[in-house]
Amino acid sequence: MLTPFQLSNHGLATLILIVVTLASSFCYFFGFHRRRDVAGKNVPPGSFGFPVIGESWSFVKALRENKGSEWIQRRVAKHGRVFKTSLMGSPTVVITGQAGNKFVFGCGSEFLSMKQPPSIARVTGKQNFVELTGMRYKRMKGALMSFLRPENLQDYIGHMDALVKHLLLGATKGKNTILAVPFMRKLTFKVTCSLLFGLHHESTNEALFEDFSKAFKGLWAFPLNLPGTTYHQALQGRSRIVECMLPVLQRRKEQITEGIVSPKDDIISSLLTSRDENNEPFGDEAVIDTFIALLIASHDTTAILLSLMVWKLARDPKIYDKVLEEQMGIIREREDETQGKLSWSEVQKMRYTWRVAQELMRMIPPVFGNFRKTLKDISFEGYDIPQGWQVFWEASGTHMNKDIFEDPTNFDPSRFDNPSKPIPPFAYIPFGAGHRKCIGNEFARIEALGIMHHLVTNFEWSQLIPEESITCQPMPYPSKGLPIKLKPRTFRTV
C-alpha cells in the first residue's frame, strides 16, 4: 500500500506526465499552425511565449494582481501599440489606443466576430447570443432589446425598488458588519433573475448562484480541465446550471401554451417564442447558453461597479458627502403620491452619483478587455492579422491616456459633466462601443443607482481593512471581499 507521501508523489508524477504528454502532442501542431498562418504575411512583432500555454499564465497572473495594464504596457514599450502574443491557446494580436478601439469596434462582423476563445466558450456556451453573427444575432438581439430599451425599463423601477428594499433589509438586519462584495454579487444576481428572467424560486436561485460563481471564476482561468482546477470546477458548474434550467424551460413552455405566462413577461419566455433566421425556434441549448452569458455579463459587472463605489465612498469623505447630499435631496423633494417608491424621474436626477460611477469605470474598468476572432485575413496599421487569430482590445490604453483625460490618475467625476474638452469617440469604453456595445448598459445604470440610493440614505459605513487592494478574478474586486462596518442612519428609507 502506498503511504500518503507516496500517494502525493504518485499524483504529482501523474500530473507532470499528463502535462508533458500534452505539451509533446501539441507542440509540433502549434508550431506548424503558427508558421502556416504567418507564411508570407507581415504579422505584428511580439512573442508567442511558451509552446501550448503561450503567455496565458503570466497574463492571468498579472490580472489577478491588478497589473493587467502593466503587462500590456511592457509589451507596448517593446513592440509598439500593436503586438502579437498567444492567449488562451490561440495566437492573438493585442491592439491598444483610440485608433485600435475604433478599428475593433467598427470592424464589420463578417471580418471580426465576437467569438471567444474555445476555453471561454465552453463555459458560456457556443450558442449564446454574443457568439452569434448575421441575421441569427439580429433576431436574438431583437428579442433581448424588447426588455432592455430605456423606454421599457421604466416599467421595472417599482419592482426593482421593492426588491432592493427587501433584500437590503434582510441582509443587514441585526448586523453591523457585512462583506460588501459577496453581498453585491448576490443582490444583483437576485435582481437580474427576478426582473429579467422571471426566476422567483429562492432555493433554485441560491443553487444557481453558487454554480454561476464557479463558472465565472473559470472564464479566464488557465484552461486545464483536471479535477481540482478552477477551470474544471467552472465546467462542472455549467453542467449543473444546464441540468437545473432544462426543467425550468419545459415548465415555462407549458405556462406559455396555457396562457399563464406571456412572451412579454421575461427574457426566457421571449426567447422560447422567438424565431431564428430560418423561422425556427432557437432551441433549448441557445436559450440556456444566452441565459448563462447574460447573467454573467449583467450581474457580475454591476456587482463590481457597486462594490467599487462602496470602496471609494468609504475612502473619500468628500465624494461620499456629495453623493449623500444628492440622494437625500431626492427624498426631500419626493411627492406624497409616490408612497416612498423610487421613480424613473428620480433616477434621472442622480447625475453626480452616476458621474462617480463613470469615473470609477474609467480608472478601474469592470471589463479589462475582451477578445474578437478574425473570420478573414485583415490588416491594421500595416500589419496582417491572419484568419482564425484572436484580436484583444483593452480599455486602459485610452482610459488612462493623459492626451485624452487630463490628469488621468486623479479621481475627478466632473470630467464627465459638460467637459471643456469633449471625450472623443472610442476613448471611453466601459460598455464597449459600436454596433456590439453592451445592450444592458442602461439596465446596469438604473440598477446601480437604485441600490446606491437605498444604501447611502440608510447607512454610513467604513472599511474594516483600510488598505485592502484590488484584484482581478477575472474582473476587479477588493481582494478581501470588502468587509465594512455599517452604522444605520436615524432617518431610514428601508
Q: Is 193 annotated as a binding residue?
A: no
Residue 494 lies in a domain: no
Is 28 a member of any domain? yes
Q: Are residues 382 and 314 in the same domain?
A: yes
Residue 50 per-residue DSSP state: B
Q: Is the peptide bond before 474 cis (omega within 30 degrees of 0)?
A: yes
Distance between CA 185 and CA 12 in Å, rounded?
Answer: 36
Low-confidence winner among 12-21, 293-302, 339-348 (lowest mean pLDDT): 12-21
CB proximity list for 347: less than 8 A, separation 6 or greater: 157, 446, 449, 450
Given a contact cutoff of 8 angstroms between Cβ atoms, the answer to whether 123 and 422 are in contact is: no
- For the stretch 147-203, pLDDT in tens is 888 777 888 888 889 988 888 888 888 889 999 999 999 999 999 999 889 998 888
23 with 156, same domain? no
The answer to whether residue 483 is domain-embedded is yes
Q: Based on the domain organization, do 25 and 127 belong to the same domain?
A: no
Band of pLDDT at residue 269, cut at 50, 70 and 90: very high
Query: Per the domain annotation, does 493 fall within a domain?
Result: no
**What band does 335 get if pLDDT is binned at 50, 70 and 90?**
low
294 by Cβ neighbours in 10 Å (0-12 / 13-18 / 19+) ranks as: buried
Distance CA(393)–CA(255), nearest Å, equals 43
* Residue 363 shares a structural domain with residue 409: yes
Domain assignment of residue 210, yes or no? yes
330 lies in the same domain as 340: yes
Judge whether 145 lies within some domain: yes
DSSP state of 160: H
What three-state secondary structure class fits 341? coil
Q: Report the range of poorest mean pLDDT among 49-53, 470-474, 488-492.
A: 488-492
pTM: 0.86
Strand 459-463 versus strand 483-488 pairing type: antiparallel
Residues 363 and 320 grouped into a single domain: yes
Q: CA–CA separation, 290 vs 285, rounded Å?
A: 8
Question: Residue 310: what are its φ and ψ, rounded to 5°?
Answer: -60, -45
- Could you list the residue range(s) of the whole structural domain that residue 20 is in? 1-39
Same-domain status, 10 and 58: no
CATH number of the domain that residue 435 is part of: 1.10.630.10
What pLDDT shows up at residue 328? 94
User: Strand, helix or coil at 92?
Assistant: strand
Angle value at C-alpha 61, between 473 and 429, nearest 5 degrees: 55
In sequence order, the 6+-apart residues with CB closer than 8 A to the CB of 487 are 176, 459, 460, 461, 462
What is the grid cell recorded at 346? 428620480
| 182 and 308 fall within a common domain | yes
Q: Residue 70 falls within a domain, yes or no?
A: yes
Q: Are residues 265 and 377 both part of a single domain? A: yes
Q: Per-residue pLDDT for 443 more than 60? A: yes
Which of 160-169, 218-227, 437-446 is least confident?
218-227
Query: Among 20-34, 80-94, 106-120, 396-410, where is mean pLDDT lowest?
Result: 20-34
Q: What is the pLDDT of residue 138?
A: 86
Which residues are CB-contacts of 407 (< 8 A; sequence separation ≥ 6)?
none
- Is residue 3 domain-resident? yes
Task: Give the C-alpha separation, 443 to 366, whole Å.
Answer: 15
Based on the domain organization, do 187 and 154 belong to the same domain?
Answer: yes
111 lies in the same domain as 165: yes
pLDDT of residue 116: 79
238 and 313 fall within a common domain? yes
pLDDT score at 419: 67
Q: How many domains does the chain have?
A: 2
